[in-house]
Amino acid sequence: MTDKERILNLVLGLTFDDHRKSTLQLALEQARHLIGYDKKQGISVDGYKYRGLKIKEIDGHITAEISEDNRPKDVLDICDAFSALSLYLIALDQLGHLFVKGKESVKVGEILKKAKIVEFGKDDTRKAIKQLRNSLCHNFGLANNRKPFYKFTLDFEKIDKIIEMPAKVWDGNWADKSEETQTTIYVFPMCSAIEKAIDSVISQYKNGKINCEIIDMEEIKSRFTVLQ
């Protein structure tokens, strides 16, 4: 195994190091914590409801106790969902920089295409998610000038959707905030789909189907890891 392969394996979470941490894995760990991700259950309404709580089962009844190192969390705390989704999109962006050639602006859309996950199969969906990444990661400060408005829902009922495009094109009037011009984001299904996309990309790397596009190992270390 080459030094470059070793550092890539660390970045992708395939190996671990006591003194160097993968920023990709740090983003994923925090996203999963905020959304209540469980390795067996995945992302679920109960996982989100009880995130940060100690769960106990007594005589067949589930109870939750607030742990000493976690604050009480409202089950409808949209802030945690926003933060989790932002971190998932950052993780996708990092994978895009590792495995996609081209301009920075195409990284998220192209890595979703490479992942070959059915939910991300349409061009307009990938474009909307790229724009969502830019908007969320700037705290809604750089909303795209074509589809600037997003509506978020924590609804688990429409699990077959991750995103719903606007019914009509926004005409540039910033006072127009009608639902018809908003792009609806189904937060939990989208986070679940991103989990699948990340797994797919890492699996393709392990099987030699995609290669890292960054040649300089020191660049990979500097951009995708931190020393502890």
> What pLDDT is recorded for position 63?
54
* CA distances, 26 to each of 55, 80, 192, 225 (Å): 24, 16, 18, 9
> What pLDDT is recorded for position 66?
46
> What pLDDT is recorded for position 142?
59
> What pLDDT is recorded for position 189?
92
SS3 87: helix
Instruction: Taking the CA atoms of 70, 75, 78 and 82 in sequence, report the sign of the dihedral they define.
Output: positive
> What pLDDT is recorded for position 40?
85
Cα 179 from chain centroid (whole Å):
24
* CA distances, 92 to each of 5, 111, 191, 202, 217 (Å): 20, 7, 11, 11, 20
Q: What angle do CA 205, 211, 216 make, to 5 degrees?
A: 125
> What pLDDT is recorded for position 203?
97
> How do the pLDDT tens digits run along the chain, 228 residues long?
889 999 999 999 999 999 999 999 999 999 999 998 988 888 887 788 777 665 555 555 555 554 444 444 454 467 788 889 999 999 999 999 999 998 877 899 999 999 999 999 999 999 889 888 888 877 666 555 555 678 888 876 656 789 988 888 878 787 877 888 888 889 999 999 999 999 999 999 999 999 999 999 999 999 999 998
> What pLDDT is recorded for position 200?
97
Q: Compute the residue count for the chain.
A: 228
